[in-house]
Chains A and B, each alone.
Chain A
Amino acid sequence: MEALIEKLKEQIIKQLNLEDITPADINEEDSLFGEGLGLDSIDALELIVLLEKEYGIRIENPKDGQKIFFSIKTMAEFIQEHQKK
């Protein structure tokens, strides 16, 4: 899980062009949207693409997005759970 979280941080920084932010700056439990990393709706779409492109996971129900993308940790848990299947 630890390795997956670190990998996710790096992928998100790269995919979302979060310049001037390093993996160490991101707390895995901080919210990705709003006050945390301050991501926006386009970033949310990029995260959906990232999950599909890098992990082959497709989000079937868009309503689940809010829970899945709450933080790096919730994303990692979702990936781990769905990759086992």
Chain B
Amino acid sequence: MTPQITAFCHIKKNQVFLNGKSIFSAGPEVDMREFVKAAFRNTGTKYPKFFKMDDYSKLGFLAAEVLMKEVDVSTIEAKSTGIVLSNNHSTLTTDQLFQESIQSDESFFPSPSVFVYTLPNIMAGEIAIRHHFTGENAFFVSSAFDPDWHTFYINQLFDSKKISACLSGWVEMDDQSLDAFVYFVEKGNDLRNESMLHTVEELNNLYKINDK
């Protein structure tokens, strides 16, 4: 049985979409980093640690937060729920920020709180801590969102019984734009949205569904 996508969230161009519907937005004049913070406040979640995260982790964490409000957590096993994420820039923006803090001998003040976010899988860790997921996790770097790889890798994890559910997706950000597409995959007999199979075609379709 092919695993199924039971919820998906897309954040881009100062809009948050949940299952294809816009649930929060801000005008183009709003700085994208401020937008992410405003969107997080809009979820109603009290989690002060969010504001200490780097920009990548904030974005991924926000997308996961929105997504998980749509998932029936009583039906999933957190200890076998995996996290598989990917992006293009890894943590380049944060790496540069850290580099700036150690660039000059006269002003050499490496920031510990910036340094801890100079690995992309920290984002997965933050999401895992928040939702108590302790299943398999991985972070991949590719030039663009790669549905072939995501379906291959995740479906294989299901087949080998390494996971019973998975939060997956693409969380990309640079100085100019952001793009977070995360989705939840489950395997079972009585899932909602049965038409959304975890296939390359469906992922391609869902990733582009709000482009129109």
Contact = CB atoms under 8 A, between A and B. Distances in A.
A and B pair up: yes
A18 B112 contact: no
Nearest to B52: A17
Interface stretch (A27-35, A41-49, A60-68, A72-80): A41-49
Contacts, number: 29
Contact of A16 (B37, B110, B113, B116): B113
Interface string B40-80: 00000000100110000000000000000000000000000
B48 A42 contact: no
Contact of B112 (A19, A45, A52, A53): A45
Count class of interface residues, chain A:
10 to 19
Contacts of B48: 18-20, 38
B109 interface: yes
Contact of A17 (B51, B109, B110): B51
Contacts of B37: 19
A42 B109 contact: no
A18 B112 CA distance: 16
Contacts of B113: 16-17, 42-43, 45-46
A16 B207 CA distance: 35
A17 B116 CA distance: 15
B52 A53 contact: no
Interface residues of B, number: 10
B111 interface: yes
Contact of B51 (A18, A46, A49): A18
Contacts of B52: 16-17, 42
Contacts of A52: 109
A1 to B, nearest CB: 26
Nearest to A41: B112
Contact of B109 (A19, A43, A53): A53
Contacts of B116: 42
Interface in B90-128: 109-113, 116
Contacts of A16: 52, 113
Contacts of A45: 112-113
A46 B109 contact: no
A19 B111 contact: no
B16 to A, nearest CB: 19
Contacts of A43: 113
Nearest to A46: B113
Contacts of A19: 37, 48, 51
7 contacts: A17-B113, A18-B51, A19-B37, A38-B48, A45-B113, A49-B109, A49-B111
Closest 4 CB pairs of A and B: A45-B112, A19-B51, A17-B52, A53-B109
Interface of A: 16-20, 38, 42-43, 45-46, 49, 52-53
